[in-house]
Structure 1
Amino acid sequence: MYKPTYHHRLFQTNKGIERLAFPLFLLVILVIAYVVYQTGGIKFVYSHSMYLPILLSGFIYGVRGGILIAVIGGLALGPYMPIDSVSGEKQETLNWIYRTIFFSLVGILSGVASQSVRAHIKRLEWNSRHDINTGLRNRAALLEDLIDLGSQKYKSSLFALTLVTFDNMADLRTAFGIDVVEDIVRQAAERSQSAHGPHVGLYRSSPEQIAAIVAASAIEEIEGFLDHLVKLFQSPFQIGQVAVHADARVGYVRGDVSTQGVERPETLLLEAEAASLAAHRSGQNSVHYNAAFMTAVKENLSLLGDLRRAMENGELSLHYQPKITMSSGKVCGAEALIRWKHPQRGWIPPGLFIPCAEQSTLIQAVVEFTLTCSLKQITEWLDQGVSIPVAVNVSPRNLIHPGFVDNVLSCLDHYAVAGNLLELEITEGALMIDMERMIGELNRLAQHGVRISVDDFGTGYSSLQYLHRLPISHLKIDQSFVKRALTDAGASHIIESAISLAHKMHIKAIGEGIENQATYDLLARQGCDIAQGYAVSHPLPEHEFIRWYAQHEKGFSFTEQ
């Protein structure tokens, strides 16, 4: 709750002080007049004591109060106050009128100064709890109002703290300039204020985020209001003459002030922000807070903090999963898969730390580490008489990073590895990022013999109008379809279509995630070229891979799962 400062308390008078001060000033004026008369009259300096009640009255009552007390004081030292009380010499009329006017000017100046200071303090107070551009209350005010929820101010016991963020604000800024943020937030606030429901207050909790406290007597009321809020944000926003879409995500946390109060509003706000982050990452319109969100955020940050050290301390290593030609059973390549053995946590699954790295700048270092280790391994295998290409997974962030292609080519030269022994696996979605630039970069790699394969093909992101322009050597059918091929006719048809498309484009199809003989036979009948999965082999450390390779070349066999 807001605690007024010393200066605010000093200049913020109340009715009680005003009622008490006025008769006190009248009494002081009478006392001063009596003292002036008893000490010899107006010609002595004691008359200047009258400035004290005049200045104080202007301070407390403003201009009007300063003038009123000045006039009363001037009259008290006016026509009935002699110049010399002993001789009885009276004042000239112009003398006491001039004094009264001068007193009034002092009262006016005191009142103006007091009112100006109070107005300035009020502006500072307002600015400290409001966003200047939109007029919405700010984060500090939000925290104060959350504490007030526990008082008698609100009759409803249930509440929800809601945060609305806009995922595509960076794109909007790029297209329309930085002022677009203010326009979007202002329009979003207007829509929220127009919503009918148990709405308590709106806030601008951060430059690109608005918050709302929603109080109600039932959870259904809160949920209904939030659904309505999401629908309001789905309508286009007007930026000048252009209608644009702002991708709003809602994160919220519920509470009950009757049972727990709101003793730590900062924690509540952090939980709402965690829910907002979860909505952003999951692509959902609205997400209710779950304690697992906070745990996941802390875990991700902790993993990223350890990841850089892991690369330096040799905790990361590569395992290699073989690929075989389905028609002959011969090994035709391997995929490099990163593994992390943490000194305290043990083996950490790639699915836990790779997605975190992909959302950070660390993915550049991770892929560079994988690329370097793979090229070293290729040279070692060449020395042992094994010549097979190694596939390295590449993140979309790598592809758009300046100098990535130059770095790949530099590594190939450094390790004296031919380009056709390196394969870069790129997800389908990555190909849709800056397609024209992507075509140019991938063509540069292909000109040096580097193989390009499309990973997770069939997940629905590809654009066939661009696919034929890319220097792709392999299409890797997503394993979600391969694993369902025996039981799901739709998945089987998708696989068959993907294989047919690959062959028409004169490239090879890879079936990933083959776990048994029946799936292998089905894909072979459909014409799939290359198999990868547990049925062929698990990912293997480099020393085990060589042993497996030597044994496999003697005779092809499956490992049923």
Structure 2
Amino acid sequence: MRASRGMTVAFGAILAVLSGLAVLGSWRQAEIVDQLAADADKIDSFQEAIYLSQREMALVQAVLNEPDGVERTELLALHDRTHAAIDRLAATIDPEHRVTAERIAARQDALEPTVRSYLVAVDEGNVAAARVMLEQDVEPAMDALAANLQTIVTAESATYLRARAGAESDSRLLLLGSAAIFLLGLTVLTLYSRSERTQRRQIEHLAGIDALTGLPNRTAFAARVGDALDKKGEQGAEADPPTVIVVNLDGFRDVNERFGHRIGDLLLIEAGRRIIAMVRAEDTVSRLGGDDFAILLADRREPDRREPDRRLGLDEDLAKRLHEGFLAPFALDDVTVDIEVSAGAATAEPGEDATALLVHADLAMHGAKKRRSGFRRFRPEEAQGYAARITMLGDLRRALEHGEQLTLHYQPKIDLLGGAVAGVEALARWHHPVEGMVSPAEFIPVLETTSLIHDFTDWVLTAALAQARRWDDAGRALPVSVNISTRTLLDPGFPDRMAEQLRTAGVPGELLCVEITEYTVMSDPGTTIGALRRIRDLGVKTSLDDFGTGYSSMAYLKTLPLDELKIDRTFVRDMITDAGSLALVESAVTLGHRLGLTVVAEGIEDAATGEALAAIGCDLAQGFHFARPQPAGDLPGLLLTPRP
């Protein structure tokens, strides 16, 4: 009995010890799993930082080849995302690597001015300088940054693998201990197996979760988009293709800089919650990274839960609710933050994969942000128009390089008092080798959206000044007017380039006149006035073109350094038949003269209009009645023969 009792006690002690070991092992296992999940999520964020930095390098290199491509817009946004990713890395890294991570973050910050200087050189068309900066400054810095990131990831991965091996070793010990007593071992094994499966599922789940918001991360979201595309392929035409909406928090970086990363993180968490509250249960909300969220609508047209009988386009409806939902301020600790969102939607087209769908939605979001429209849907025809624009820019770039396709025509300005030619306006013409003559109304607006307008303006000035020099050498000093775009006039280096071109051509400044529009003035009045003063210091005349079509010219007319005022054709063409137009033209002539300006009327198409303009004292006129724009070689007789 005593022996039996001793055996029972011993057996109980053994059971207690084994049970204690099992409990201790399970606790240890749970602790390791939690740590593994945290390490896996950390490595995922490190990989994101590496990917973004490598993508940024690719975009920086691509900008040099296609300065006006979509890479230019994507690069500016991507730099902020890379910055945020590296900041998160520095905040979560293990102490032994934290100094290195903080150094990486500092280098990434220091890289921004270099990248911006490089982009300025690209925008100005200074390819040689941009290439030197790319090869000597930008690429080495980005390569070093990527290498440092990879070093940290390698070290963290090794730590992760060692911890995983330790977890597996502990698991084997638990199994051996369980086998000591069959019944207890069977129980422990069963419980352990269930725990292991649960933990494995937890690890798999955590690998696809954004640690801050608890939402699916970019990897998990892309996988779900891929699944939705596969499902659409299986169901065929009867199923709606999936739609992706990318949502960006406007001004998030300002919040971070003003209130700190803690408030920024709280804002991201609350923003994610608001977005979740606006979608259906079957939709997927993800945080892609930084301040970008995404929504997957597997079916774009479903009965609205609030109005079951009404069918809606869910992307438009959701965009409206997003706008309204973010009107309410965010109360974050003791800080109140007001923030809006920009959203872009894209619906899958046949053959598109998850990456293409995300890219299209992201492009639409950036379009909405640029236009401040709140929401924009990606449309295939826009992509086609974009491709046509890129093709035209490439053709124009080649035309500028070779020069044969571009020519200048000249339209005379006629002195209404004596009938002589008082000057000419230079007008560009493009003879495309395939399309034939392309209207300036088609290619000038395309040029004005890119830095290529600077090269084009330089070409026009060079050609116009060369012709002015030929006329001067032939004994006819004839002023030439050239239209200058807003973008070129606001370029700080433009007056210096003009001065150099005048010196090279050997043409005095008074034989050149630059024409600007009222829109140019209103784009940046201060810079415009400063640029015009520098231009007049060269002796060059200045002219305000299309006078009367703007909305604030009167406010600046007295302060603008001008020599000439050109009345727009929309008033001149009706002045014979419309008393209002006549009154406006008379007022413009009187105003110009009182300000000491020469007044030019545009669009004269008949003798009666010319006579009426002479009667009210207009100085100069140009239009088809006098002469159409024509090559310089067709003008000599007209230049030397005053009109009666």
TM-score (norm 2): 0.57
User: Counterpart in 1 of 2:412?
Assistant: 322
Which residue, 545, 550, 556 being the options, matches 1:460? 550
* 2:301 matched residue in structure 1: 216
Matches within 5 A, 1:478-497: 478-482=568-572, 495-497=585-587
Q: Does 1:555 align with 2:640?
A: no
Match of 1:114 in 2: 33
Measured at CA, do residues 382 and 249 of structure 1 come closer, stay the same or move farther in structure 2, by a change above 3 Å?
Answer: farther
- Residue 369 of structure 1 aligns with an amino acid whose one-letter code is W
2:41·2:211 contact (CA, 8 Å) conserved in 1? no
Give, in whole Å, the separation in 2 of the partners of 1:391 and 1:543.
17
CA distance in 2, matches of 1:197, 1:104: 42
Cα drift, residue 403 of structure 1: 2.3
Deviates more, 1:527-536 or 1:217-226: 217-226
Structure 1 window deviating more from structure 2 (466-475 vs 138-147): it is: 138-147
Deviations 1:64-118 (A, max 9, x none): xxxxxxxxxxxxxxx979xxxxxxxx98998897677566655544443234224
State the match for 2:63 in structure 1.
none
Say whether 1:382 aligns with 2:477.
no
Matches of 1:494 and 1:237 in 2, distance apart?
53
Q: Is the deviation greater in 105-114 or in 422-431?
A: 105-114
Match of 1:294 in 2: 383
Query: Given that residues 198 and 225 in structure 1 are in contact (C-alpha distance below 8 angstroms), is that contact kept between their aligned partners in structure 2?
Result: no
The match for 1:371 is 461
Aligned pairs for 1:306-385 within 5 A? 306-314=395-403, 315-385=405-475
For the Cα contact (< 8 Å) 1:271–1:294, is it kept in 2? no
- 1:138-537 pair list within 5 angstroms: 143-147=222-226, 149=228, 151=231, 157=240, 161-162=244-245, 200=283, 212=295, 215-217=300-302, 218-219=311-312, 223=316, 225-227=318-320, 252-253=345-346, 263-272=352-361, 288-314=377-403, 315-462=405-552, 464-482=554-572, 495-517=585-607, 520=610, 523-524=613-614, 527-537=617-627
Q: Distance in 2 between matches of 1:472 and 1:178?
A: 49
What's the CA shift for 1:382? 0.8
CA distance in 1 between partners of 2:246 and 2:21 (Å): 58
CA displacement at 1:331 relative to structure 2: 1.6
Residues 149 and 261, structure 1, Cα contact 8 Å, conserved in 2: no
Report the alpha carbon displacement of residue 495 of structure 1 after superposing the two structures with TM. 4.5
Give the conservation status (yes or no) of the 8 Å contact 1:198–1:221. no
| Rg (Cα) greater in structure | 1
Q: Do the aligned residues in 2 keep the contact of 1:332 with 1:388 (CA within 8 Å)?
A: yes
User: How many Å separate the matches in 2 of 1:191 and 1:273?
Assistant: 20
Alignment TM-score, normalising by the size of structure 1: 0.64
Structure 1 residues 500-546: Cα deviation after superposition (integer angstroms, max 9, x where no partner):
43233221333333444455456555654332333333321221233
CA contact (8 A) 2:286 2:293 kept: yes
SS in 1 for 2:566: strand
* Structure 2 CA distance for partners of 1:326 and 1:220, relative to 1, 3 Å: farther
- The alpha-carbon distance between structure 1 residues 100 and 157, as it changes in their structure 2 partners (threshold 3 A), is closer
Would you say the 8 A contact 2:421–2:642 is kept in 1?
no
Matching residue of 1:7: none
- For residues 293 and 414 of structure 1, the distance between their equivalents in structure 2, rounded to whole angstroms, comes to 43
Preserved contact between residue 483 and residue 514 of structure 1 (Cα < 8 Å): yes
Q: Which residue of 1 aligns with 2:307?
A: none
> Counterpart of 2:393 in structure 1: which amino acid?
L
CA distance in 2, matches of 1:439, 1:165: 37
What SS is found at the alignment partner of 2:552?
A: coil
Task: Give the letter aligned to residue 447 of structure 2.
Answer: A
- C-alpha distance after superposition, 1:349-380 (max 9, x if no partner): 22333222222221221111111111111101
SS of equivalent residue, structure 1 residue 540? coil
Q: Hey, what does 1:6 align to over in structure 2?
A: none
Cα deviation, residue 301, structure 1: 1.5
Q: 1:142 to 1:487 in 2, by over 3 A?
A: farther
Asked whether the 8 Å contact 1:452–1:474 carries over to 2, the reply is: yes
Pair 1:200–1:110, CA change in 2 (3 A)? closer
Written as runs of structure 1 = structure 2, the 5 A alignment for 1:26-105 is: 105=24
Give the partner amino acid of 2:389: N
Compared CA separation, residues 133 and 363, structure 1 to 2 (3 A): farther
Give 1 or 2: higher helix fraction.
Answer: 2
How far apart, in 1, do the equivalents of 2:555 and 2:227 lie? 58
Contact kept? 2:37, 2:206, Cα under 8 Å: no
Residue 487 of structure 1: how far off its partner (Å): 7.6
Distance 1:485 1:165 in 2: 52
The residue type paired with residue 423 of structure 1 is C
Q: Conserved in 1, the CA contact under 8 Å of 2:432 and 2:438?
A: yes
Q: Give percent identity, aligned residues only.
A: 31
1:273-324 C-alpha deviation (Å, 9 max, x unpaired)? 6656766787866555544321221122222223332222123222222222
CA contact (8 A) 1:420 1:450 kept: yes
**Shift in alpha-carbon separation, 1:531–1:279, aligned structure 2, 3 A:** farther
Q: Which position in structure 1 is the counterpart of 2:184?
A: none
Q: Give the conservation status (yes or no) of the 8 Å contact 1:198–1:222.
A: no
Distance change in 2, residues 1:159/1:437 (3 Å)? same
3-state DSSP of counterpart to 2:388: helix
| Equivalenced residues, count | 461
Name the CA shift for 1:211/1:118 in 2 (closer, same or farther; >3 Å). Answer: closer
Residue 70 of structure 1 aligns with which residue? Answer: none
Contact 1:250 1:276 in 2 (8 A): yes
Give distance in 2, aligned partners of 1:211 and 1:382: 65
Opposite residue 533 of structure 2, the aligned amino acid is: N
- Which structure ranks higher in relative contact order (CA pairs < 8 Å, sequence separation ≥ 6)? 2
Taking a change above 3 Å as real, the CA distance of residues 484 and 438 of structure 1, as seen in their structure-2 partners, is: same
Distance 1:481 1:542, change over 3 A: same
CA contact (8 A) 1:158 1:254 kept: yes
**Structure 2 CA distance for aligned equivalents of residues 181 and 359 of structure 1:** 34
* Cα distance, 1:472 vs structure 2: 0.7
Q: Which amino acid aligns with 1:555?
A: R
Asked whether the equivalents of residues 199 and 212 of structure 1 are also in contact (C-alpha less than 8 Å), the reply is: no
Letter in 2 for 1:543: G
Amino acid at match of 1:505: L
Counterpart secondary structure, 2:501: helix
Q: Does structure 2 retain, via aligned residues, the 8 Å contact 1:319–1:336?
A: yes
Indicate conservation of the 8 Å contact 2:345/2:365, yes or no: yes
SS class of match (1:216): coil
Does the aligned pair in 2 maintain the 1:459–1:478 contact within 8 Å? yes
CA distance in 2, matches of 1:535, 1:188: 64
Structure 1 122/165 Cα, relative in aligned 2: closer, same or farther at 3 Å?
closer
- What is the CA deviation profile of residues 388-410 of structure 1, one whole-angstrom value per residue up to 9, with x for unaligned ones? 21111222222232322122122
Q: Higher strand proportion, which one? A: 1
- Alpha-carbon distance in structure 2 between the residues aligned to 1:184 and 1:480: 53
- 1:517–1:408 distance in 2 versus 1, CA, 3 Å: same
Is the Cα–Cα contact under 8 Å of residues 390 and 422 in structure 1 kept in the other structure? yes
Alpha-carbon distance change, 250 to 101 in structure 1, aligned in 2, over 3 angstroms: closer
